Amino acid sequence: MTKKERYKHVIEWFAANAPSAETELHYNNPYQLLVAVILSAQCTDKRVNMVTPALYEAFPSPEVMAASSPDEVFTYIKSCSYPNNKAKNLVKMAQKLVTDFNSQVPSDIDTLLTIPGVGRKTANVMLAVAFDKPAMPVDTHVFRVANRIGLTNNSKTPLETERELVKHIPRDLLSKAHHWLILHGRYICVARKPKCEICGLRPWCKYYEKNSLPPQ
């Protein structure tokens, strides 16, 4: 099977079986999404969604958060991973939005990357989810699933994975494909023991092919 054929089959399967895949983070506007994505680093979306309602209420705009302190923000996010660092980044992020971007979240990757707490994955999430632009955020789930299926050739970094996926997935499907891969990795192709027995991608998966064949 060629890589082109593998991509074709995988995309067709996802399109038929997960047509409405979308983020599981709760938000109402780009500012709230940026807050949630910063919090989601090495933390589950479920946990973030438990924290954000009170956080959004206390800090409803970049201006309010920019005028607060990391200590204030910390009290709302202390159950998330790395709350000290994230509290500092959230306040700095809000201050940057207020001072440099008229309190608006920018919609291009280079500008997003100038914001404290925003790395390439977070910036790509903003492009794909908040602004519906073609982008492929690569987190641990996307990285793992793409390598296992064989969509990438054992890429060593998230950036390698991103470039490979962007090269082979049609632009109009990129942002949805991100959700396909992340949700598949979260619920089916899990890290320790993938649930191959219930996975519809088995016919095209390199991992399954390698691990289901009897030893020669």
Q: What is the pLDDT of residues 123-176, one digit of tens each?
A: 999 999 999 999 999 999 999 999 999 999 888 999 999 999 999 999 999 999
- Enumerate the active-site residues: 121, 139
In the chain, where the domains are located: 3-21+136-212, 30-130
Q: How confident is the model at residue 216 (pLDDT cuts 50, 70, 90)?
A: very low
CATH architecture, domain 3-21+136-212: Orthogonal Bundle (1.10)
CATH superfamily name and code, 30-130: Hypothetical protein; domain 2 (1.10.340.30)
In the prediction, which pLDDT does 153 show?
Answer: 84
pTM of the model: 0.88
Cβ atoms 3, 167 nearer than 8 A: no
Q: What is the pLDDT of residues 49-98, one digit of tens each?
A: 999 999 999 999 999 999 999 999 999 999 999 999 999 999 999 999 99
In the prediction, which pLDDT does 82 show?
Answer: 95
